[in-house]
Structure 1
Amino acid sequence: MEEFEEAYGRALAAGGGDVEVDAAASVLAAGGEGWAGAAEGVARRVGRECAARGWEAADLLRMVGRELTARHHRVAVALGKGGEGLAALAARERLDRFSAAGLAVEVLCLYGRLPRITALVAPRHAAPAAGESKTLARIRALLAKAESTGFPEEAEALSAKAQHLMARHSIDEALVAAGSDAGPGARRIGVDRPYEGARALLLDAVAAANRCQAVWSADFGFSTVVGHATDLDAVELLYTSLLVQADRALQRGASRSRDFRESFLIAYASRIRERLAGAAAEETATTTAPDLLPVLASRDLAVESETRRLFPSTTTSRLRGRDAEGWRHGHSAADTASFRP
């Protein structure tokens, strides 16, 4: 619908102002039975433009969830490929056509304002090692149990076992991939509010222990993790699990102040870094393959080179805990999640 395209363009040029958004929504809602299809068509075009600026579909949905409302997020899913469709969503949520159109225009204006970011490259896979899928399934099961148990000692043992399996799996994959053209790639992992800096610090700790590098994009709520395919899987699995465990430990704290929670998470991330690094080093030390260290060094160099290519200029930020009690609780919680077999 050409008229809606023009109205959306005016709303975008006005920075998503209320008057222009309402005008575009009115044009869309007046489009008869094809109104939802017109919105979805514009969404496809805008999505292609975002992809050309480095944004992937998951990134767009994450930004809607970060900057707008839960209902906007459902509209964004409906507008995208594989969604139920805008008209079906409007009917299910009992939205009149103008209201649904307004939500869609606001989503599209958010997309249209997104700047260019670094385009990602998927990691190149080597031939999978025998039993790889079974190993990953076992790691997922161990972490799921660690998240669900109410006993800290059991969570410690399960998480420790998972990290050692991850390290072993990474070593096996490295030896299989040696001499192949398998190389590192990158993956964006969401870093949610609140206490984003502390959460990014935890993700960085998990990435470093699994031979990856993480670059946090504070403005967009994600970190880009660079590494080989198996290691990227490990980072995402373990980071998600540790956040669940940290949240459970936080609920046991006596204080609910912002400083307490932020200090808790900073201390937790710092201690987890030490524990994970120790677990990875132990697994490497038990490996008898004579060519392992050169292989790992080569992979580390490839990850560093790819990180520098994607992010030629980065800055370092420091976080300091301001609540002593929160720091102690976070340190203790990380000790409970100690990664020792």
Structure 2
Amino acid sequence: MPDAEDLVAEALAAVRGTDVRQTERQLDRLMVGTGTADGATAVDAALARRLVRGLGRLWPRGWQPVDVHRIVRRRLDAGAARLVRDALAAQRREQAEPVPAWWDDQLRVLAAQDREAAGQGSSVSQGSKASRGRDAGQGSKAGRDVGPEDLVADWTRAEGLDRVDALRTAVDVLALVESLPPIAVLRPPPGSAGTALPRAAGAARSGSPMLDRVRALLAKAESTTFPAEAEALTGKAQELIARHSIDEALLAAGTERGDVPSGVRLGVETPYAGAKALLVQEVAAANRCEAIWSDDLGFTTVLGWPADLVAVELLYTSLLVQATAAMLRGRAERRPGSGRRTKVWDESFLNAFALRIGERLRTATDAATEAAGQTEAGADRLLPVLAARGEAVRERLETLFPGVTRHRLSVRDAEGWSSGTSAADRASLDVGGGSKPRQVPGRP
């Protein structure tokens, strides 16, 4: 009998091929194992070790924990993503090189999201075995000291899977992880030069009192059913962000902190991924950032300075909630007989919403910059600082994405476009930032 590593390698080769029967035969061989008393344990350990090694190879290739988790969930399912989450924790424990603080922050966020999802599982009508197992306290040991020999078996029990389905999912996850292409390195990965430089890593002070106030205002804006109240709340949040962004720029100009433009990746999922990517671009452009959409990988990369990146992420998340709610309300108000074009109407609505919001954001940005130049620093000091920071972001863009292409919008539903523009006018978002958008997906 072959050893466990050979069985895993043969199963992977079969999954990557096109012969379905061969794939099933190799999965059956995994089920049989090595033919020894501990054959199943050996197979599980071999799968886990190879998955942990595969994850470690991704970090110098630009991937971050949240990126891997997102693409596995997108291309496979939530259960597969939880296996990756557990393997990420195991890989972190084996990481001998220095690990930046933001890396551990991402792992904590993934664990918290899984706990939150498990807490909501009992309210799901279908009541999957995974939800029941985790709600009952039988969840994965992620976060505790789980070795390779226990990782797959523990995850299998937590998900409530039989062994055939568990092995199939584990092999699919491993095949996906090992096939991921190189992407832009936005932050120094664990063990590389610059790992120990927290400011250069590109993270703003996400726990600041100002950002807590912004989050609270945006949460209220999303939950209210009164457009005027949402407008006032969001406008106040954006005012705080605008002032904070300018303060950060002036502070950096007066010190030698060594900050450099960095980046974040925001998930852009179907349906209407193009319209959502356009919304990211418009928010990014209004905040002196650049946005590049990777359609095949399901995310948009935003490049900019730390405070501006935080603003983009907060505002995009809030605006997407508001745009979706407005789109659903708009559907109910459509003329009778136009329901056959719902998808085209939705897409036109969201594209128009994004472009109109971008215009309003840039207008607000220009006003905030002008006011700051008059009362805080003087235009002679502020404008050169902002220009230099904008140039640094563009240089970063050209270094990381030398072959960017642009996409042209087409209006396929005039009614949806008009409704989306009107909704954006009602959703007023006057946030700080501001250069003309120049990145994909572009304007018509």
Question: When the two structures are superposed, what TM-score results if normalisation uses the length of structure 2?
Answer: 0.71
Asked if 1 retains the 8 angstrom alpha-carbon contact of 2:289 and 2:304, the reply is yes
1:269 aligns with 2:344: no
The aligned counterpart of 1:238 is 315
C-alpha offsets along residues 177-218 of structure 1, whole Å, 9 cap, x if unaligned?
114211101111111111111111100000011110001111
Asked if the contact 1:184–1:302 (Cα under 8 Å) also holds between the matched residues in 2, the reply is: yes
Give, in whole Å, the separation in 2 of the partners of 1:24 and 1:92. 21
Whether 1:54 and 2:62 are equivalent positions in the alignment is yes
Per-residue CA distance 1:213-267 (angstroms, 9 max, x = gap) = 0011111111111001111111011000000001111111235610110000000
Kindly state the Cα deviation for residue 35 of structure 1 after the two structures are TM-superposed.
4.1
- TM-fit CA distance, 1:329: 1.4
Unaligned runs of 5+ in 1: none
Deviation at 1:8, TM superposition (A): 4.3
Please give the residue correspondences for 1:1-341 in structure 2 after superposition, counting only pairs within 5 Å: 1-11=4-14, 13-14=16-17, 19-20=22-23, 23-24=26-27, 26-27=29-30, 30=33, 31-81=39-89, 84=140, 85-121=151-187, 124=200, 133-178=208-253, 179-180=255-256, 181-254=258-331, 255=334, 257-287=342-372, 288=375, 289-290=377-378, 291-339=381-429
SS of equivalent to 1:253 = helix
Q: Quote the Cα distance in structure 2 between the aligned partners of 1:302 and 1:175.
A: 15
In structure 2, relative to structure 1, the CA distance for the partners of 1:76 and 1:35 (3 Å cut) is same
TM-score by length of 1: 0.91
Root-mean-square deviation (CA), in Å? 2.5
Instruction: State the alpha-carbon separation in 1 of the partners of residues 19 and 70 from structure 2.
Output: 19
Instruction: Read off the aligned partner of 1:237 and give its amino acid letter.
Output: L
Bigger Rg, structure 1 or 2: 2
Q: Distance in 2 between matches of 1:240 and 1:16?
A: 42
Rate the CA distance shift 1:75–1:25 in 2: closer, same or farther, 3 A: farther
Q: How many pairs are equivalent?
A: 340
> In terms of mean alpha carbon deviation, does 199-208 or 43-52 score higher?
43-52
Q: Which runs of 5+ in 2 are unaligned?
A: 34-38, 91-110, 112-139, 141-150, 189-198, 432-444
Identity level (%):
45
Change (3 A) 1:235 1:28: farther
CA shift in 2, pair 1:18/1:190, >3 Å: farther
C-alpha distance in 2, partners of 1:156/1:45?
49
- 1:215 partner SS: strand
Deviates more, 1:327-336 or 1:89-98: 89-98
C-alpha contact (below 8 Å) 1:4/1:28 kept by paired residues: no
Closer/same/farther in 2, CA of residues 25 and 58 from structure 1, 3 Å limit: farther
1:176/1:25 CA distance change after superposition, 3 Å:
farther
Question: Which segments of structure 1 move beyond 6 Å, counting only runs of 4 or more?
Answer: 125-129
- SS of structure 2 residue aligned to 1:118: coil
Contact 1:272 1:338 in 2 (8 A): yes
CA distance in 2, matches of 1:28, 1:298: 60
Instruction: Note the C-alpha offset of 1:28.
Output: 6.2
Q: Which has the higher contact order (CA 8 A, sep 6+)?
A: 1
